[in-house]
Amino acid sequence: MLRAGLWHRGLTRLLTFPETPAAGKEFTFTFPQGPEGIRYEIVNFLVQVDNSAVAGNRNYTFHLDNGAERYARWGSPNSEVANAQVEFSAYPGCSASILINPTRKAQQISMPSLRCIEPGHRITSETAAMDVADQYKGLRILVQEWLYEPAGERSPNIGDGSGRVDTIDVQKLNATLERFAQLLEAQQATP
């Protein structure tokens, strides 16, 4: 009997910059490839920016794209001054953009709920009035993995060597259930 496809909650993982971008450069973060059918949901997005002493206010915006088109955006509603270290923490459900630590310039900002982000999609930064010495660093994205099991009897990732704990060996399970059914039938047949 065939069944409909199912989404399964996978691992919760912390993704980071493979390399810190050069000073004065925007960043691009690409979601990694994974097992067949994997998608990502952003739980929290955290990044730090060190603004240089060069005068001018900076405005920070972050985009999600598929390599060709942007489809989500979030950012700070406030301009950030020169010679400041700013840390942005964004997550779905944040009711408002708030300054949580005025001395360290830590801000919580609202972002859209982004479930089922495909591998290869990207988060990019866009900074108005960025100086050549401004520096992005410490990007951390907490994600919840979602694995799609297509319709049918085959489970993805079985025997692929990934060693993932969020999959089961369907053949072993079926063999165990078959043995259990045989024992139950034998017990019922015995008076």
Domains parsed from the chain with CATH numbers: 6-152 (2.60.120), 157-191 (no CATH)
Q: How many CA atoms lie within 13 A of 123 on its CB side?
A: 26
| Rounded average pLDDT over 110-136 | 91
Residue-wise pLDDT for 25-72, tens only, equals 999 999 999 888 899 999 999 999 999 999 888 999 999 999 999 999
In sequence order, which residues have a C-beta less than 8 Å from that of residue 176 and are 6 or more positions away?
Answer: none
pTM comes to: 0.72
Radius of gyration over alpha carbons of the chain, in Å?
23
In sequence order, which residues have a C-beta less than 8 Å from that of residue 108 and are 6 or more positions away?
Answer: 89, 90, 91, 94, 97, 98, 100
**Comparing C-alpha atoms, which of 171, 166, 128 is closest to residue 153?**
171
Cα–Cα distance measured from residue 10 to residue 144, given in angstroms and rounded to the nearest whole number: 7
Between 21-30, 58-67, 102-111, 148-157, the lowest mean confidence (pLDDT) is in: 148-157
Distance from the Cα of residue 181 to its chain's centroid: 42
Phi, psi angle pair for 150, to nearest 5°:
-65, 165
Please give the pLDDT value at position 97: 63
